[in-house]
Structure 1
Amino acid sequence: MKKRAFTTALTALALGASLCSAAHAAEPLRVVATFSILADMVRQVGGDRVAVQALVGPGEDAHVFQPSPAQARQVGQAQLLVANGLGYEGWMARLVQSAGYRGPTVQATNGVRPLDAAPGDDHDHHHGDGDHDHDAHAGHTDPHAWQSAANAQVYVKNIVNGLCAADAAGCADYRARGERYTAELRQLDADIRAVWAPVPAAQRKVITSHAAFGYYGQAYGVRFLAARGVSTDSEPSAKAVAQLVRLIRTEKVRALFIENISDPRLMEQLARETGVRASGSLYSDALTKTGGDADTYVQMMRTNTARMVAAVKGTS
């Protein structure tokens, strides 16, 4: 009896140990992404194996973001950090330093061909306390590379590689999910081209609050005119606004959009002065909360495209 009890106890101990190690193995990888669009991409690739937190959440503006002590702790406890790069996160170096983060970082734009910002764009991303981003690209590179679905495929490749390096046991799963997601992004790219195809090139003109759509414009043959530079943090001069008013009138622009992260007053002024009715909002740097019409990257691109095409056709 004693021997059997001893054996049962040993079995229970072994079972407990294996359950404990299984629970430990099942603990998701802690990933911090700098903003909501990146966080969605990481979730698409990582599935249940990752627990993703976005520093700049849905509907929030990364250009004027100021990290809180709680967010610095989040970064300090992360096992992987995913950032856009190209000077987008001007606050990043300081945050990593204050958080004491020593882990791996994925630069999602690694391998993307960067676009120059349009001449005259204020491309310095402010920190909100008077400091400027001293990233080498910050003065003249447009960081909004995710606005092309082809570039999004590069982001996914970098995310897959980063997750594989941080969690080798999950690599086959990450690669399989990455391939499925890439196929979805290829379809998205083809669908966007197909929606624009019937619209004459001369009609493809859109005014937006800030210059966030350069990559979209290059990829899909749309001309974007922005009231601000590539940071929402810069106020346009009266002269710049007057030039835009003239441009809207002479070019007969029909599509005038406010972004979900921007102050609408400037666009309302343009609408008043030109008689062009604002066509609603676009999603540039942030997703909506879950259940909104742009709560994933793919949904954001589809919603933006449908709204722009309807506006330039005059059917919105």
Structure 2
Amino acid sequence: MAYSLEQLQIFAAIAKAGSFSEAARQMGRTQSSVSTAIANLEADWNVLLFDRSTKVPVMTESGRRLLREAHDVMESCLLLDGHAQSLGEANEARITLAIEVPYNVLMPLLLAFAQQFPFVDLDIRNSLDGDVSAQVHDGGVQLGVAFSQPQYERSIGFVQMGKLVMSHVVAREHPLAAPQRVSFAQLRKHRRLAFSALGERLPSSEYLAAPRCWRAVSYTAMLEMVKAGIGWATLPRTMILRELEEGQLVELRLEAYPNTDWLVAVDLLWNKGQRLSAGALWLKNELANFKVREKDSAGLWTAF
């Protein structure tokens, strides 16, 4: 491969300008240098790119087909330059982020990050990798978004991002779906489905203990088991709106809290002693200012 990126740029410039002379003028080159570059490119590829039998050279069918690939190569070179510049500006090639809350809550911000730092990869961890605050404390992840805990290690910096509604739900055919109000005693008579990563860490979750309890490492698994009627569960309301609207799931109204949704705060976590790259620092600042909120069962927005 003897041809150069410069030759491809000249090739594309001629195709866009419509003539050798106009392309040379736009590029600030002599017409002879442009003609020579194309002649050398044709020799390298052993194909005729322009038909010179007319007064104004016309691109051949082979030229038109190769032009598309030339544009792809030039686009790849631009991406390569951008990637190199990103690394040269001390942006890490990869940032680790642990997310305990439903992912859909953070999608707008993750999309903004992808646009702002197109060459920085995100390694997203979840509950399978252990407690989020422990991952941040140990340095396994740089940033974490998790349900608030009453106490963190001293090394952990945190800021509250907002609150999510946790809904106690069952399938519409489940026995608990019938009563208007459900007591803690009634809950304990039926199988509970719990999110493994949280255990009993959430405030007031001790009231929801049950003798029979199945644990799952993902909200998706819990949702499917609830829909199948295996038991009752406490799920983030934001991820079950469709199931509630369609009547697949029924929200339980607890006798002890008849008019109150269970609100759980969401925190952004970071290790105070860990230096963050430009990309990670941008993500941290944006997460700190990102407001996590949703509508509760009464249709009102949760407070910050």
Per the TM superposition, whether the score is higher than 0.5 is no
Larger radius of gyration: 2
- Which structure's residues are more often helix, by fraction? 1
Q: Higher relative contact order at CA 8 Å, sep ≥6: structure 1 or structure 2?
A: 2
User: What is the TM-score with the length of structure 1 in the denominator?
Assistant: 0.27
- Which structure's residues are more often strand, by fraction? 2
